[in-house]
Every structure is written in structure tokens, then in C-alpha cells.
Amino acid sequence: MKLTRKFLPALTAAAFALSASPALADAITLDASNIGHAYTFTYDGFSGGTSVDGLTAITTFTLTGISGNQYTFDYAVTNTSTDPIDSRVSSFGFNTNPDITGATSTGAFSYTTLDGRYPNGIGAIDVCFRDASGGNWSGGGSGGLTDGQTGTGSFTLSFADPVTSLELSDFYVRYQSISGADCITSASGSGTLTGSSSTSGSTTSGNTTSGNTTSGNTTSGNTTSGGTDVPEPGMLGLLGGGLLALAFAHRRRRNKALAA
């Protein structure tokens, strides 16, 4: 009891610190085998360590090509915030491993920034894609996606050397012009991986690789073939042993009946 009382303040402080910190998002690892794969993230908004109900978004990133030291993606961002919340999504970003050296983008979020700081306690982030050239690096101006809107485009990540495997992690979006959330007018959203899928074909460094059509079973982005399962040798042995045992027992019962 004394030990509990002694450490209770420290435990309480640690729990508060964890609850006030933004949750780190899931990570994905990509290489040439993932070209054509799409990854979907959902985002829950927060500000100052407080979650904002109804402030949500969805992004989908599809790896479309790898060439030397560059990875190219298509993206789709949707502001899924619901009443009584009104907002606009003004930027999205994430971290990379290895470190990124350059980025370009087209479409709804065509402005890029490297090595900046995201608000709401997130801090340093490797790359951010913004809706406007003005404002701070996490988004600005008066553009972005209002409730129910979707923005699409593509972006390219560049690295100092050719990259055989790329990790993306800590996915975030930025909300601005928020209303319906008391005094909160801006916030951030932390992404969680909620789905992945693959297309039937893909292109790597200009060379097209054909997709394999299967029975429609997909596991973790890798397509697996359907068909009838073939029993393993061990299972065949057990099955054979069971049949022999049944035959022996039947023969014993038959011999006893004849003797009687």
C-alpha cells in the first residue's frame, strides 16, 4: 500500500502524458513487389491532447512506380467530418525511412515542404503536401477539402540513392477553419491503417509486369491462389492408420461372432 501511494503521482502523470500525446500511426514497408498496392488510412482529429468527435478523414496511397531513387504514388484524400463539425483538410504528411531528399506533387495538394514541424504536439515530420503556397507549412490559405470533398493527385518521393525498400510511417492530416467544436478552430489527425488492396497489373521502372488472376483471395496485399487443399503427408499417415484400426476392430468383432 505504501509503495502504491508513493508511486501513484508518477503513474498518474505518466498516464496523463500518454493521453495528451498524439498516437503514432501505422507504418508500411514498400518495395517493387508492392507496385499497384493501395493503402487506406483513417484519421481522428485532436487538438491540445483532446480528441474532437466528428473530425475525421480518409486517405488512400497507391504505389504506382519505382525508378532509381524515386517512388511515385497516386493519392486520394477525403474529408469525412460529420455534423456538427465543419472543417477543411489543408495538408497531409508522413515520415520516411530512409530520409527523403526531395518531393513533387500534382493535384489537390500540389505544394510540398520537407523537414518542418506539424502542430498539436506532433513535431518534426519529413514531408508535407499542402493545398496552397501561402500560410504555414502545415497548410494555409483558404483552399483544402471541406466536409464530404475528395482531392486526388500524385506525388513523387526522391532519395539520395536508389532505395530497394521504403518505409512510410506516422501519417497525419491538418484541419483548419473548424466550427462546431467549441473553441477549437484548427487541429490535426493521426492516421491508422485500415485496409490494403492490389490491382491486377503493375509497372516497375517502365517494365510492365502482368498480374495473376486468382480465386479472389487477398492476404496483406499479396494475392494467394484458391483451389482444393492437398492433405499433408502427416495427415495422410494418420488417415491411413485410422482406416487400418477400424478394419482390424471390425475383423475381431466378426471372428468373435463366428466363434459364438
What pLDDT sits at residue 43? 97
Say which range, 4-18, 96-110, 192-206, 240-254, has the weakest mean pLDDT.
4-18
Report the alpha-carbon distance of residue 178 to residue 185 in Å, rounded: 4
Q: Is residue 143 over pLDDT 90? A: no
Which neighbouring-strand residues pair with 189? 45, 173
Q: What pLDDT does residue 137 have? A: 59
Q: How many CB atoms lie within 10 A of CB 70?
A: 17
Average pLDDT over residues 31-57: 96
pLDDT band, residue 49 (cuts 50/70/90): confident
206/99: higher pLDDT: 99
**What ranges do the domains of the chain cover?**
22-198
pLDDT tens digits, residue range 163-206? 999 999 999 999 999 999 989 999 999 999 999 998 754 433 33
Cis peptide before 162 (omega within 30 of 0): no
Whether 10 shows a pLDDT value over 80: the answer reads: no
Distances (CA, A) of 1 to 7, 8, 9, 10, 11: 10, 10, 14, 15, 14
Element containing residue 48 per DSSP (H, E): none
Fold (topology level) of 22-198: Immunoglobulin-like (2.60.40)
CA distance 99 to 158: 9
**Sequence-distant (≥ 6) Cβ neighbours of residue 35 within 8 angstroms:** 63, 64, 65, 66, 202, 203, 204, 209
Q: Return the pLDDT at 48.
A: 86
pLDDT at position 103 is 98
Q: Is the pLDDT of residue 246 over 70?
A: no
Question: What pLDDT does residue 23 have?
Answer: 45
Looking at residue 133, its pLDDT comes to 74
Q: How far apart are CA 97 and CA 223, in angstroms?
A: 26
